[in-house]
């Protein structure tokens, strides 16, 4: 698994281990954290997917690669498009090119942001893609490379488009944090919730355990498909409704502060679920209220300290030992040091 020390990776690792799989993670800890994998019997190689030698070392002899590693955030990509491209597009190409040597199955994780603005809802996978940010463009490139390796080399590949995933382990407390943990953190700290725009923008919020379940299934079955596949349950919730749900769970009203809309954001998002339901007939999504309740409970349990990008929690407790490349720490530094390869937890 690439990017396995991140939010989705934390859940997928647990799902794969529960299914009896052996898991190797490559992660540069730029937004992930060793703490997310603390106590789990996994091998963590600290390195970048842009470093071909490390990817080759990690991916040799594996049955399937789930490629989660990415430089997330629309906003971040507008600040530094080249860095986003290097990890999300070139990094994906590197993983595919290494996989192709041994015909290793790959799940490439893309994003609903590829659809961009306009068009009809729900989004069917064959809808036009009009990326509105370098992040979205890099994800479209990533899935394009994946499907081209399938068409051109016969590589077994599944390209999935995740929508707005939320749940425990999602990083918070940094400028690029996702909306659900940001709302929860503000609510638990007694601060107003910042809403960009009027709050009527809609998202197909998806609970992370449901996503991890499908990714796990895809890896174990070495599932492939000739086209991208939406992974979401076709719901459509606006941000003010989401805040209302949080108010019900917390039993108090939450003050809201409206800010300017963010550049690059799409207005509405909702998945067509037909392909997903055909490929994962047993997949069931937890309802929003229960999923939010479980998420809230997790943040309440751990307190509201920040996690992820540039955060204290990224310097997790699992010790790095046996650094193959002679580089030291497995602790997250909040920076993307692409030369830091080889540490093993």
Ligand X SMILES: NC(=O)c1ccc[n+]([C@@H]2O[C@H](COP(=O)([O-])OP(=O)(O)OC[C@H]3O[C@@H](n4cnc5c(N)ncnc54)[C@H](O)[C@@H]3O)[C@@H](O)[C@H]2O)c1
| 8 lies in the binding site for ligand X (CB under 6 A) | yes
Strand 193-196 to strand 202-203: parallel, antiparallel, or no bridges (unpaired)?
A: unpaired
Provide the mask over 174-213, with x wherever binding to ligand X is found by CB under 6 A and - wherever it is not.
----x-----------------------------------
Minimum separation from the CB atom of position 92 to ligand X (A): 9
| 89 lies in the binding site for ligand X (CB under 6 A) | no
Which secondary structure element, helix H or strand E, spans residue 196, and what is its range? strand 193-196
**Residue choice 2, 150, 201, 295 for contact with ligand X (CB under 6 A):** 2
Minimum separation from the CB atom of position 334 to ligand X (A): 10
Q: Which of residues 110-149 bind ligand X (CB under 6 A)?
A: 111
Minimum separation from the CB atom of position 100 to ligand X (A): 19
For the chain, the C-alpha Rg in angstroms (whole number) is 19
Provide the mask over 314-333, with x wherever binding to ligand X is found by CB under 6 A and - wherever it is not.
--------------------
**Residue choice 24, 44, 72, 313 for contact with ligand X (CB under 6 A):** 72
* Residue 184 backbone dihedrals phi, psi, to 5 degrees: -65, -45
Minimum separation from the CB atom of position 255 to ligand X (A): 25
Q: If you write DSSP's letter for every residue of 131-192 in order, what string do you get?
A: --SHHHHHHHHHHHHHHHHHHHH---EEEEEE-EEE-TT--BSSTT--HHHHHHHHHHHTPP
Q: Which of residues 26-65 bind ligand X (CB under 6 A)?
A: 26-32, 48-50
What torsion, rounded to 10 degrees, do the Cα atoms 12, 15, 19, 24 define?
40
The catalytically annotated residue of 115, 135, 149, 207 is: 135
| Active site annotation includes 135 | yes
Residue (of 56, 52, 66) closest to 21 by Cα position = 66
* Cβ atoms of residues 30 and 46 within 8 Å: no
Q: If you write DSSP's letter for every residue of 248-291 in order, what string do you get?
A: HHHTS---EEEEPPPTT--S---B--HHHHHH-TT--PPPHHHH
| 292 lies in the binding site for ligand X (CB under 6 A) | no
Minimum separation from the CB atom of position 216 to ligand X (A): 14
Q: Which letter does DSSP use for residue 33 in this model?
A: -
Work out the widest C-alpha separation in the chain, in whole angstroms.
Answer: 57
Residues that bind ligand X (CB under 6 A): 2-3, 5-9, 26-32, 48-50, 68-72, 87, 91, 109, 111, 162, 164-165, 171, 178, 336
Which sequence positions are flagged as catalytic?
A: 135
């Amino acid at each position: 698994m690439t990017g396995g020390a991140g939010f989705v990776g934390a859940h997928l690792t647990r799902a794969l281990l529960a299914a009896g799989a052996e898991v190797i993670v490559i992660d540069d800890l730029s937004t992930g954290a060793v703490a997310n994998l603390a106590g789990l019997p996994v091998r963590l190689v600290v390195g970048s997917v842009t470093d071909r030698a490390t990817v080759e070392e990690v991916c040799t002899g594996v049955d399937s690669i789930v490629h989660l590693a990415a430089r997330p955030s629309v906003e971040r990509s507008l600040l530094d498009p080249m860095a986003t491209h290097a990890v999300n597009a070139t990094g994906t190409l590197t993983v595919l090119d290494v996989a192709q040597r041994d015909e290793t199955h790959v799940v490439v994780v893309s994003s609903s942001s590829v659809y961009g603005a306009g068009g009809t809802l729900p989004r069917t996978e064959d809808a036009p893609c009009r990326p509105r940010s370098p992040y979205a463009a890099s994800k479209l490139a990533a899935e394009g490379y994946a499907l081209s390796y399938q068409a051109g080399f016969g590589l077994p590949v599944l390209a999935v488009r995740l929508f707005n995933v939320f749940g425990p382990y999602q990083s918070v407390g940094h400028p690029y944090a996702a909306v659900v943990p940001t709302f929860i953190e503000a609510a638990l700290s007694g601060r107003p919730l910042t809403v960009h725009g009027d709050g009527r923008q809609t998202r197909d919020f998806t609970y992370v355990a449901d996503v991890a379940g499908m990714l796990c299934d895809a890896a174990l079955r070495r599932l492939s498909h000739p086209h991208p596949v939406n992974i979401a349950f076709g719901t459509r919730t606006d941000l003010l409704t989401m805040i209302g749900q949080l108010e019900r769970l917390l039993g108090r009203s939450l003050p809201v502060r409206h800010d300017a809309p963010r550049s690059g954001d799409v207005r509405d998002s909702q998945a067509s679920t037909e392909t997903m339901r055909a490929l994962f007939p047993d997949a069931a999504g937890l309802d929003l209220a229960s999923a939010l309740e479980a998420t809230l409970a997790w943040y309440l349990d751990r307190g509201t300290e920040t996690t992820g990008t540039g955060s204290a929690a990224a310097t997790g407790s699992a010790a790095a030992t046996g650094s193959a490349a002679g580089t030291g720490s497995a602790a997250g530094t909040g920076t993307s040091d692409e030369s830091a390869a080889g540490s093993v937890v």
